[in-house]
Chain A
Amino acid sequence: MDVISTTQAGLLVLSIKSPRIDAAAAITFKDAVRASTNAWDGAVLLDLTEVQFIDSSGLGAIVAIKKALGKDRTMILAGLTETVAKVFKLTRMDSVFSLYDTLEMAIADQSDTPTTQVAL
């Protein structure tokens, strides 16, 4: 699975270039994200803008990634479609993750927090 990695507003942004995180993709997805986060100490943003569908296996993989990041590295999810957001809401996983409708909203929110603000 292709994962594009960039840093924005002090976050490691991982853009998932796949329309589905399902049972068939869950393990490669998990491995690809873990490989990208190994050498990073800060917060991680998973950009799901291109993901149209996620099932319970995909949800489980995202939870596993959050556990692997541990308590000190925040995990933010952005770009959730209606269908993807529904899976998080129904399972109440929306209370576990910081969720944003768009990548821009997530980045703007992070930029507003004093700890990551930079002098212009």
Chain B
Amino acid sequence: MTDTQINVSFQAREDAVRDAIDRLMTQLRPWGLDSDMAGTVELVIAEALNNVVEHAYANTSPPCPVHVACERQAGGVSIRIVDEGAEMPDGQLPMGLAPDVDVDLMDLPEGGFGWFLIRDLAQDVEYRRAGAQNVLNLRLDLALS
């Protein structure tokens, strides 16, 4: 019997994101994700957590708590990320449009890929402000065995 819910909490800092993802991926191992699925889960969570550290908590002094909850469901994994940082601009998720790469070398985009990757890989990406908290919910459709 493996846990169907995994929770990891940490204080937001760039190097703490790496450690938190490492803990999550270790605990997710019994769910039997293949390397491609694990890569997708890791990438989506990493992009969302980087956003929390770099934007929501950009101008905040500690404590900067972040909570990540992953739940194994039929047909995939649902993920909830909660932080107490600044609200998303206009209270909404970024559009996450694909940056244009058909441009001159010097005009190639060096950023703006994070939300595009999240929206491209995840389903039902939903954000709400709840009191002093940001709540991000999303789902990854994965053929778990």
Give chain A's interface residues, CB within 8 Å of chain B: 20, 22-24, 53, 55-57, 59-61, 63-64, 66-67, 70-71, 81-83, 86-87, 90-93, 95-96
Contact = CB atoms under 8 A, between A and B. Distances in A.
B39 A91 contact: no
A24 B63 CA distance: 20
B88 to A, nearest CB: 17
Contacts, number: 84
Interface in B74-114: 98-99, 101-102, 105-106, 108-111, 113-114
B14 interface: yes
B46 A55 contact: yes
Among A24, A55, A59, A64, find the residue whose CB has the most chain B CB atoms closer than 10 A. A55
A110 to B, nearest CB: 20
B121 interface: yes
B50 A55 contact: yes
A27 B27 CA distance: 29
Contact of B54 (A23, A67, A70, A83): A23
B47 interface: yes
Contacts of A59: 113
Contacts of B121: 90
B46 A83 contact: no
A56 B42 contact: no
Per DSSP, chain B at the interface is helix
A57 B112 CA distance: 9
B67 to A, nearest CB: 19
B17 A23 contact: yes
B17 A24 contact: yes
Given A23-B14, A23-B53, A24-B18, A56 B111 contact: yes
B57 to A, nearest CB: 13
B3 interface: no
Contacts of A66: 105, 108
Interface string B104-130: 011011110110110011000000000
Contacts of A22: 17-18, 46, 50
A26 B108 CA distance: 17
Nearest to A23: B50
B43 interface: yes
A64 B54 CA distance: 19
